[in-house]
Chains A and B, each alone.
Chain A
Amino acid sequence: MPAPGHGVSLEEQIDRWRSYLRRRQAIHSVDVAELEDHLREQVAVLVDAGLATDEAFLVAVKRMGNLDALSREFAREHSDRLWKQLVVVPSDSGEPRARARTDAIVVFCLAVAAAVVIKVPALFGIQLDQDAGFYARNLSLFVLPLLTGYFVWKRRLDTSTLRWLAVAFVAAGVFANVYPFAPGSYTEALTALHLPIALWLVVGIAYAGGRWGQVGSRMDFIRFSGELFIYYVLIALGGGVLTAFMAMIFQAIGIDVEPFFESWLLPCGAAGAVVVASWLVEAKQSVIENMAPVLTRLFTPLFAAVIVAFLATLLWTGRGVDIGRNVLIAFDLLLVVVLGLLLYSVSARDPRTPPGAFDVVQVVLVVSALLADAVALWAIVARITEFGFTPNRVAALGENVILLVNLAWSAVLYTRFLRGRGSFTGLERWQTNYLPVYAVWAAIVVIVFPPVFGYG
């Protein structure tokens, strides 16, 4: 008779064996259950034959065979399992399945709501083609409240946070619509561009679900934003193919779908897709590799090479930077891309691993981008009085300064880390703490710029 102590240790041993098996990608949990049943029966038979339980366990495990070979055999039979599939509603029964289904229903309703909301102004005679300014200013207000609503529901936010989120959206609605913008004015365009940036922070606070104060959850929001962008682009590409086919086959029977496409399919689809893409990113987060860090790995060295080549050419030929109208915006965008590359490689990096070659490339990229920007900024500031302070130029200059400060301090922190005098978490904390700065600047552009520049 096995002593009671043995029974416990057998369960522990089987637990350990099971968790070891579960780590194999090709062996699913149903297979583990099947193999476990086999193992237990084998152990029982051996114990009946007179072996002690731990001996019986060892023999049974040995008979089961080498786990590497076994998982190879499983992989050969189920080769599809080596490709991770996104299963939004799990097939095995139980509570997770019910929850996933409710989630899907809520998302579907919110996506439909987003698609409807964007058509509501049309009921009041505000048409997409005639009142482009109205739609441009309010675009984020059609979609982001619903997306925020999804996270409010999903994270079960308390009412006090909810109140602040609501206040933010109402204020955004007020500032986007009370100013008497001149039609097609610069300040109106700036509002349209900056309001989504400011409101994205509100989405982030809802996303973090009351844990916005933690570096980790702000980092999660950065990851979420990157993946959402990629998923959205993919959905948009798919939508483009769909509409191309639609146009083509309806053309064949002499019907022009363009009016339908322009006033219904495009705006409704684009609005609903934001909610759907967010949901997909939420569902996939632990299942499928994040794409943004993969792209970062690929493009960091390439961007570094291009900027270094640019600087070298600048030095070699002694050319000055030609200050055209859009050069500042071009350099802003360059800094945004470099920041994105930095951000997403930071987001995927294990802070405990020691510095490697990729980190050096990253620092080269940041420093060279800073130098290139400094050259451009120098040329612009020297002649800014000559150009005058238009709202566009001030906004672009402000953004440049914000990005420059971020990247400069990041370069300092990264260099410290490379020289072993600082930890990588310092860089993470700097990046996540900096997030509100973008939103605050965007809010300033939306709230302060129009009156200061006379709504021009």
Chain B
Amino acid sequence: MREIMEINKDLIAASSTPMVLAILAEEDSYGYAILQRVRELSGGRMEWTDGMLYPVLHRLERLGHVEARWEVAESGRRRRYYRITSRGRAQLAEERRQWQAVDATLRGIWRALSLSVPAGHPASAAPLPQGA
């Protein structure tokens, strides 16, 4: 049984930009493949509603962080590929700095919590699993 952890909608929305940009920084890609990569990287813990990816991609396109082009895939269907732009890379670096700062802050507070809370409550050191 795979353990399904619900991640808060706001967190998904906030993390979608750096995640999509990072995946596109690896290589040019299209909607379905991007979602597959997200599933793979999160070990299935991040479940996006498929359709919702596209408004995100269109927003990034409008901001000039990605470029889109139509190509004919090997299946013979027309497919829209996205490529990260130099502005997108700069944005990704900026996002990365911000997330690292958030991450470092949280790590610090988790550590402080696990020191003050007596041992035997390891659950509080990590995000609460379902049903804890």
Interface size on A, residues (CB 8 A): 23
Q: Give the complex CA separation of A124 and B51 in angstroms.
A: 69
Partner-contacting stretch, out of A71-79, A326-334, A421-429, A438-446:
A71-79
* Neighbouring A residues of B59 by C-beta, 8 Å: 77
Q: Could you tell me which residues of chain B, from 102 to 119, have a CB within 8 Å of some CB in chain A? A: none
Number of A-B contacts (CB under 8 A): 59
Q: Mark A21-61, 1 if CB is under 8 A from B, else 0.
A: 00000000011011101101110100000000000000000
Q: Within 8 Å of chain B (Cβ to Cβ): is A63?
A: yes
* Neighbouring A residues of B75 by C-beta, 8 Å: 40-41, 44
Q: Are A77 and B49 in contact (CB under 8 A)?
A: no
* Neighbouring B residues of A77 by C-beta, 8 Å: 55, 58-59, 62
Q: Mark B50-71, 1 if CB is under 8 A from A, else 0.
A: 1110110011001000000000
Given A33-B78, A38-B50, A65-B49: A73 and B31 interface contact (C-beta under 8 Å): no
Q: Within 8 Å of chain A (Cβ to Cβ): is B99?
A: no
* Neighbouring A residues of B54 by C-beta, 8 Å: 31, 34-35, 38, 74
- For residue A34, which residue of chain B has the nearest CB? B80
Q: Are B55 and A73 in contact (CB under 8 A)?
A: yes
* Neighbouring B residues of A78 by C-beta, 8 Å: 58
| B interface majority secondary structure | helix
Q: Are A65 and B32 in contact (CB under 8 A)?
A: no
Q: Within 8 Å of chain B (Cβ to Cβ): is A98?
A: no
Given A42-B32, A73-B55: A64 and B50 interface contact (C-beta under 8 Å): yes
Q: Within 8 Å of chain B (Cβ to Cβ): is A122?
A: no
Q: Are A63 and B50 in contact (CB under 8 A)?
A: yes
* Neighbouring B residues of A41 by C-beta, 8 Å: 32, 75
Q: Within 8 Å of chain B (Cβ to Cβ): is A70?
A: yes
Interface residue ranges, B against A (CB under 8 Å): 30-32, 49-52, 54-55, 58-59, 62, 73, 75, 77-80
Nearest 4 Cβ contacts at the A-B interface = A65-B49, A70-B51, A65-B51, A77-B55
